[in-house]
């Protein structure tokens, strides 16, 4: 699958039950009880959430407007950094148990963590992921001009993919739309400047 804004074609890591691609707007449907997570309490692994990946070979950024038809707890649209089953990270626009859309990040190094940033009174927002050598940065924006740093972390120095993912860990499924895609082959110069 090819998006004109991306330098490499996308490939399914986990196929979606339904998807569409129209004018560089990608929609993914997650089936029932789908997730990507290694539970820190039980070490139970979930890896059945549909996602599309492409390889990243140098410093770059990817941003997208993520719109989710939230139905059930933990439904989410995700920008993903993926290396292998035990090394990955995701920036999520996710539905909380209190039925509020929120910004959530998960970094997995053998076991997943789970960090909630803040809630938003909307069902569509802007997310950005960035590669900086072995380090990665997650940002969120409400307007596409000022970006709030959500997470800065490092992963292994191994082949890496960026991707799009939809999940519905507790429910019967959801659909996520990724639009306003922007890819830049550049290194972010100041992670906390709002750029």
Q: What is the pLDDT along the chain (195 residues), one digit of tens a residue?
A: 999 999 999 999 999 999 999 999 999 999 999 999 999 999 999 999 999 999 999 999 999 999 999 999 999 999 999 999 999 999 999 999 999 999 999 999 999 999 999 999 999 999 999 999 999 999 999 999 999 999 999 999 999 999 999 999 999 999 999 999 999 999 998 888 778
- Is residue 165 a part of any domain in this protein? yes
- Is residue 125 a part of any domain in this protein? yes
The CA-CA-CA angle for residues 134, 38, 64, to 5°, reads 55
Domain of 62? 11-184
Radius of gyration of the chain (CA): 15
What's residue 189's pLDDT?
Answer: 85
- Is residue 112 a part of any domain in this protein? yes
Contacts for 145-149: CB closer than 8 Å, 24+ residues apart:
146/194, 147/194, 147/195, 148/194, 149/191, 149/192
Reading the block at residue 132, the tokens are 């900086």
Q: What is the CATH number of the domain that holds 169?
A: 2.60.120.200
What is the count of structural domains for the chain? 1
What's residue 46's pLDDT?
Answer: 98
- Is residue 193 a part of any domain in this protein? no
C-alpha dist (Å) from residue 84 to 99, 132, 178: 31, 19, 23
- Is residue 189 a part of any domain in this protein? no
The CA-CA-CA angle for residues 80, 86, 92, to 5°, reads 25
d(CA 191, CA 31): 35
Q: Which residues contact 110 (CB under 8 A, 6 or more apart)?
A: 38, 86, 87
């Amino acid at each position: 699958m090819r998006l004109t804004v991306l330098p490499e074609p996308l490939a399914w890591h986990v196929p979606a039950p339904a998807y569409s691609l129209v004018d560089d707007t990608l929609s993914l449907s997650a089936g029932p009880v789908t997730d990507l997570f290694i539970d820190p309490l039980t070490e139970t692994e979930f890896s059945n959430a549909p996602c599309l990946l492409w390889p990243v070979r140098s410093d770059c950024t990817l941003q997208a407007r993520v719109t989710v038809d939230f139905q059930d707890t933990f439904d989410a649209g995700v920008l993903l950094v993926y290396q292998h089953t035990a090394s990955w990270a995701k920036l999520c626009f996710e539905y909380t148990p209190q039925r509020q859309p929120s910004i959530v990040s998960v970094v997995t190094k053998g076991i997943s963590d789970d960090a909630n940033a803040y809630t938003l009174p909307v069902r569509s927002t802007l997310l950005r992921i960035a590669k900086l050598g072995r380090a990665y940065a997650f940002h969120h924006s409400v307007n596409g001009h000022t970006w709030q740093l959500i997470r800065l972390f490092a992963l292994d120095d191994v082949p890496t993919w960026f991707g799009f993912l939809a999940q519905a860990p507790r429910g019967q499924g959801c659909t996520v739309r990724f639009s306003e895609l922007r890819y830049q082959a550049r290194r972010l110069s100041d992670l906390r400047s709002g750029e």
